[in-house]
Structure 1
């Protein structure tokens, strides 16, 4: 699967995967669904984060903490922690349970509140994963890009599956002269960009 996944983590991942699958098929309202990444996307993000340059790791859109579990593996491999941001109190409660049950609270810090406000207070970002509502995706990407260290990595999910909801956004991010980037057809489509030196 991936080095460093404990039994508790694997069990929680399977549980969240089952909840997510059920949410997608049983009519759970969109705002209440977990809407998490696929296992392949999680693995991909963990590899990218582990290979990022020195600096801080951030995630926008915690949900129940599934992708944070994957990114916690990178934190253990490289040292440091992940700050993961969400404003939904129900999702943050689920994320707290995820961290408690998996023993990952030592490398994952939950940040409650507005993503743009939280990002504006950060600096020296080495890796960022944006899995936020589409209406704030571009603003979050611009805020992150301003704070990326040279060689820093910006990723965003759902850029293929929800392309119709974000017209022009991917093009705007990839057109930023500070970034080199590409859309990777994994999961729901991941935008991957690197801050130029």
Structure 2
């Protein structure tokens, strides 16, 4: 890393710290969720506090009553999102690894959100197929979908999000910049290819209106895509 790049990273971190301390300061439950996730040796890939607050504000602005999260990890982003729900709301979050789900259950219970949330464990595409069958039998569309799982399957996750939402629903796809590699059509990395395919789907699908935003901060150079399901 060049000296200039290192300086930029320090500046990004300082600005993120300032924004977080001023506008998105984590409380005891959020801090404990990160602590327990680290103690359980979960990867350090959770959203930052200001990103979590953004998700919460988007869900609140949406008036979301049903939220779907693909990729639970330790439940940090789940806490931010679930706090946007009304008392009779529901959040379903999908996690591949049982050991991650176990940490998340403890974190959600400590935050007082276990009655509003449900963690389903297994391969996300299988869990989404099961949700699709439930939806076909008893339609209950999601108002907000947050996708933050394995990037190779991003286009499939977007497709399922479309099947499980309604006109007006929002879909957020995280980590779309891939260090800038997303612009390279010849990149063979599965995460880059999956992300490009998901963005292409968002761009051409007649039921979606989408944009993507680059970000810098404590997670480095990153970004997210935001799509609204058309009426």
TM-score when normalising by structure 1: 0.81
Cα distance between partner residues in 1 of 2:101 and 2:38: 20
* Structure 1 pair 10–161 and aligned structure 2 pair: CA distance change class (3 A): farther
CA contact (8 A) 2:65 2:90 kept: no
| Residues 111-155 of structure 1: CA deviation (Å, up to 9, x unaligned) | 112212222324412110000111111111111112220001001
Inter-partner Cα distance in structure 2 for 1:162 and 1:152: 28
Match of 2:201 in 1: 172
Deviation at 1:46, TM superposition (A): 0.9
Match of 1:11 in 2: 28
2:174 matched residue in structure 1: 157
- The aligned counterpart of 1:193 is 227
Counterpart selection for 1:82 from 82, 91, 109: 91
SS of residue paired to 1:126: strand
Of 112, 117, 125, 1:108 maps to 117
Say whether residues 1:35 and 2:45 are aligned partners: yes
TM-score, length basis structure 2: 0.70
Change (3 A) 1:184 1:21: farther
Q: Distance in 1 between matches of 2:101 and 2:37?
A: 16
The change in CA–CA distance for 1:51 and 1:136 in structure 2 (over 3 A counts) is same
User: Does the 8 A contact of 1:53 with 1:151 survive in 2?
Assistant: no
- Root-mean-square deviation (CA, aligned residues, Å) is 2.9
Q: Per-residue deviation at 1:186?
A: 4.2
Matched residues in 2 for 1:183 and 1:106: separation?
33
What is the DSSP-based 3-state SS (H/G/I as helix, E as strand, rest coil) of the residue aligned with 2:74?
coil
Map Cα deviations across residues 70-117 of structure 1 (whole Å, 9 max, x no partner). 0011113x7411101102011111101101211110111111122122
Change (3 A) 1:20 1:189: farther
Equivalenced residue count is 185
Q: Distance in 2 between matches of 1:55 and 1:73?
A: 11
Q: 1:183 aligns with which of 202, 212, 217?
A: 212
Gaps spanning 5+ residues in structure 1: where? none
* 2:83 matched residue in structure 1: 73
